[in-house]
Amino acid sequence: MGLETKRIHVICDTDLHGMSCGLVTYSVLREEGYNVTVYSHFEPQAPKQPVTNPQGLAQYLEMLGEISLVIMDIPVDSRNPKRYIDAIISHNRYKGRVIWADHHGHSQWVQELVKEGVTVYLLPSSFELSMLFARLYNKQDSWFEKWALIGALADFDASIKDKVPRELEEDVCEYLDPYYKFHREEFIQEEGYYNAIPEHGNVGALIMCIAHKRIEPEELIEKAKQRVQGIQVPTYNVIGHVVYTTQLPQQGLAWKTAWKLCMLTDTKVAMVPSFNPFRNEYAVIVASNWRYKEEVADIIEEFVQRRFSGRMIVGHKGARSIVLMSQNEIYNIPQWARELNELIESKLYIPKSTTFISDKYIGQAIARDFRTILQRLTELLEQQRRMYQEYLELKRKQVELLERMRERGEEAD
Across the chain, what does the average pLDDT equal?
Answer: 85
Q: Are residues 165 and 241 in the same domain?
A: no
Q: How confident is the model at residue 71 (pLDDT cuts 50, 70, 90)?
A: very high
Burial class (CB in 10 A: 0-12, 13-18, 19+), 74: buried
Count of the separate structural domains present in the chain? 3
Q: How confident is the model at residue 80 (pLDDT cuts 50, 70, 90)?
A: confident
* Full 3-state SS string of 118-171: CEEEECCCHHHHHCHHHHHCCCCCHHHHHHHHHHHHHCCCHHHCCCCCHHHHHH
**262 lies in some domain:** yes
Cα 159 from chain centroid? Answer: 7
Q: Residue 246: what residue type? A: T
Q: Are residues 243 and 344 in the same domain?
A: yes
Q: Are residues 198 and 102 in the same domain?
A: yes
Kindly provide the residue ranges of all beta strands, DSSP E only, lying in 34-105, ordered along the sequence: 35-39, 68-72, 98-102
Strand 237-239 relative to strand 242-244: parallel, antiparallel, unpaired?
Answer: antiparallel
**155 lies in some domain:** yes
Tell me the β-bridge partners of 101. Answer: 72, 121
CATH number, residue 296: 3.10.310.40
101 by DSSP, 3-state: which?
Answer: strand
Put residue 198 in one of left, alpha, beta given phi > 0 → left and psi -120 to 50 → alpha.
alpha
| 44 φ/ψ angles, rounded to the nearest 5 degrees | -60, -35
Select from 227, 246, 274 the last residue of a domain: 227
Looking at residue 47, its pLDDT comes to 46
**1 lies in some domain:** no
**232 lies in some domain:** no
Tell me the β-bridge partners of 69. Answer: 9, 98
Whether 159 contacts 153, CB under 8 Å? no
**353 lies in some domain:** no
Q: Are residues 48 and 142 in the same domain?
A: yes
Whether 125 contacts 17, CB under 8 Å? no
Select from 294, 322, 348 the last residue of a domain: 348
- Dihedral of CA 203/204/207/213: which sign? negative
pTM over 0.85: no
Looking at residue 3, its pLDDT comes to 53
Residues 6+ apart with CB under 8 A from 209: 187, 188, 191, 193, 215
Read off the pLDDT of each residue in 230-254 and give the average, rounded to a whole number: 94
pLDDT in tens, 163-185: 899 999 999 999 999 998 888 88
**86 lies in some domain:** yes
Q: Are residues 29 and 175 in the same domain?
A: yes
Q: Are residues 24 and 65 in the same domain?
A: yes
Higher pLDDT, residue 275 or 81: 275
Q: Are residues 63 and 29 in the same domain?
A: yes
Q: Are residues 171 and 92 in the same domain?
A: yes
**220 lies in some domain:** yes
Q: Is the pLDDT of residue 49 over 50?
A: no
Q: Are residues 174 and 45 in the same domain?
A: yes
Q: Is the pLDDT of residue 1 over 60?
A: no
Higher pLDDT, residue 275 or 202: 275
Q: Are residues 241 and 170 in the same domain?
A: no
Q: For the chain, give the percent of residues with pLDDT over 90.
A: 55
CATH number, residue 50: 3.40.50.2300
Read off the pLDDT of each residue in 91-105 and give the average, rounded to a whole number: 91
Q: Are residues 141 and 218 in the same domain?
A: yes
Q: How confident is the model at residue 236 (pLDDT cuts 50, 70, 90)?
A: very high
Select from 199, 227, 255 the last residue of a domain: 227
Whether 271 contacts 300, CB under 8 Å? no
Q: Is the pLDDT of residue 352 over 50?
A: no
Whether 155 contacts 284, CB under 8 Å? no
Q: Is the pLDDT of residue 142 over 90?
A: yes
Q: Are residues 301 and 396 in the same domain?
A: no
What is the extent of the structural domain holding 280?
237-348
The whole-angstrom separation of Cα 409 and Cα 413 is: 7
Strand 269-276 relative to strand 281-288: parallel, antiparallel, unpaired?
Answer: antiparallel
Q: How many CB atoms lie within 10 A of CB 226?
A: 8
Whether 133 contacts 25, CB under 8 Å? yes
